[in-house]
């Protein structure tokens, strides 16, 4: 019996060992989660801003490189343009790493550095331009002179006129520079996807997709995420008048409207020069002159009679004029000259009436 039990136990152990030794099925290569489809959209306004930096940077480098020599900046423009692209592109690639390396252990260098890609690229372009200064530029006061700035501006204009470095080509380079220096991913999309379909679906909702202004007359294109920002400053947007008149005015025309034709434009009272200190919307001029007729009459009477009549007598005359049959004519006088003439005419009639009454009596 013992031998049989040992045999059974041996068979069981053998069976268990055989089971453990069975090769596991090969699952094949482990599938890596490779996100190979990247969104290439970025802030087009910033791209354009960076592209605008390239021509002035190139012009400065060309001018400083040929200063004091018997040749103009145009003679080196092609060569220096190539050198410039070859310099700023790899320099932008190492920008983030160098920024991190320069930071101390306590501060975040990414927070200390400017996060505006245009500012960063501007610094890199300036670095290149400084490297192209010839001996004369380095030792003279040329760098600080107005003539240097004028020459750079003239050469920029010449390149723009001749389409030496077209904007569309500069923007291609600017996109690359933007992606390299935008370490906070604030100006370009860094999303990646497993398939083209996922990428296509994302592009339709990406905050950096191109959007167009819907205001009539505006042709500006911008990233969709900046729609509200653009709308808040678009010169073609129609807005209610800032001075609350019934008109709706294009933003770029608002200032001119408010200081010229707006009926709610504030004006000083026409009687300001003789004493009335009121200011009111120009559309309420008639109402003001009607409501303040008494005070306007007093001001005019003071001008007419100067010190010849007492204040009490002028008050009485003003009251008589207000009660006279020409009261409507007086209230419609909208300036000093017309009211003065009306008062003098009415006073002349009143004096004649007084003389006639005295003769009759």
pLDDT digits (tens, 9 = 90+) for 257-315: 999 999 999 999 999 988 999 999 999 999 998 899 899 888 988 888 877 778 788 88
- In this predicted structure, the answer to whether residue 246 has a pLDDT above a threshold of 90 is yes
More confident residue, 46 or 20: 46
102 band by pLDDT with thresholds 50, 70 and 90: low
Measured distance CA(254)–CA(35) in Å, rounded: 50
Q: Which residue in 136, 117, 140, 147 sits closest to 53, CA to CA?
A: 117
Half-sphere exposure of residue 62: CA atoms within 13 angstroms, side-chain side: 26
Contact 121, 53 (CB under 8 A): yes
Measured distance CA(49)–CA(27) in Å, rounded: 53
Looking at 67-145, list the stretches that DSSP marks H as alpha helix, in order from N- to C-terminal side. 77-93, 95-102, 109-112, 117-131, 135-139
Tokens of 84: 């410039």
Regarding pTM above 0.75, the answer is no
Contact 203, 42 (CB under 8 A): no
Measured distance CA(238)–CA(251) in Å, rounded: 6
C-alpha 38, offset from chain centre: 30
- In this predicted structure, the answer to whether residue 219 has a pLDDT above a threshold of 50 is yes
Tokens of 136: 């004369």
C-alpha 238, offset from chain centre: 17
Measured distance CA(342)–CA(318) in Å, rounded: 12
Measured distance CA(179)–CA(120) in Å, rounded: 12
Tens of pLDDT, residue by residue over 36-83, are 788 889 998 899 999 999 999 999 999 999 987 788 999 999 999 999
Which residue pairs, CB below 8 angstroms and at least 24 apart, start in 322-326? 322/293, 322/294, 322/297, 324/350
Mean pLDDT of 96-101: 73
Measured distance CA(100)–CA(113) in Å, rounded: 10
């Amino acid at each position: 019996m013992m031998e049989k039990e040992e045999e059974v136990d041996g068979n069981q152990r053998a069976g268990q060992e055989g089971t453990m030794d069975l090769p596991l099925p090969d699952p094949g290569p482990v599938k890596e989660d490779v996100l190979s489809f990247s969104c290439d959209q970025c802030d087009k306004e910033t791209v354009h801003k960076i592209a605008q930096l390239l021509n002035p940077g190139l012009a400065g480098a060309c001018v400083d490189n040929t200063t004091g020599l018997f040749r103009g900046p145009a003679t080196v423009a092609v060569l220096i343009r190539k050198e410039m692209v070859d310099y700023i592109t790899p320099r932008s690639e190492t920008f983030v790493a160098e920024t991190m390396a320069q930071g101390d252990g306590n501060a975040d260098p990414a927070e200390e550095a400017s996060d505006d890609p245009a500012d960063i690229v501007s610094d890199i372009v300036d670095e290149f331009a400084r490297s192209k200064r010839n001996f004369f530029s380095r030792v003279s006061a040329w760098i600080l002179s107005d003539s240097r700035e004028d020459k750079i501006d003239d050469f920029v204009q010449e390149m723009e006129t001749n389409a030496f470095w077209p904007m569309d080509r500069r923007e291609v380079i600017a996109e690359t520079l933007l992606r390299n220096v935008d370490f906070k991913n604030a100006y370009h999309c860094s999303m990646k996807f497993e398939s083209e379909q996922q990428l296509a679906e994302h592009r339709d909702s990406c905050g950096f997709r191109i959007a167009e202004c819907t205001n009539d007359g505006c042709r500006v294109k911008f990233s969709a995420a900046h729609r509200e920002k653009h709308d808040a400053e678009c010169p073609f947007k129609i807005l209610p008048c800032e001075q609350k008149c019934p008109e709706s005015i294009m933003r770029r025309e608002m200032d001119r409207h408010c200081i010229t034709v707006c009926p709610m434009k504030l004006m000083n009272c026409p009687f300001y020069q003789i004493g009335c200190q009121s200011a009111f919307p120009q559309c309420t001029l008639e109402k003001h002159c009607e409501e303040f007729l008494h005070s306007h009459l007093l001001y005019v009477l003071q001008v007419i009679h100067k010190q010849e009549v007492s204040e009490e007598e002028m008050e009485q005359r003003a009251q008589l004029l207000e009660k006279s049959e020409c009261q409507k004519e007086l209230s419609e006088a909208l300036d000093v000259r017309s009211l003065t003439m009306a008062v003098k005419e009415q006073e002349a009639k009143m004096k004649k009436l007084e003389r006639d009454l005295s003769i009759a009596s």
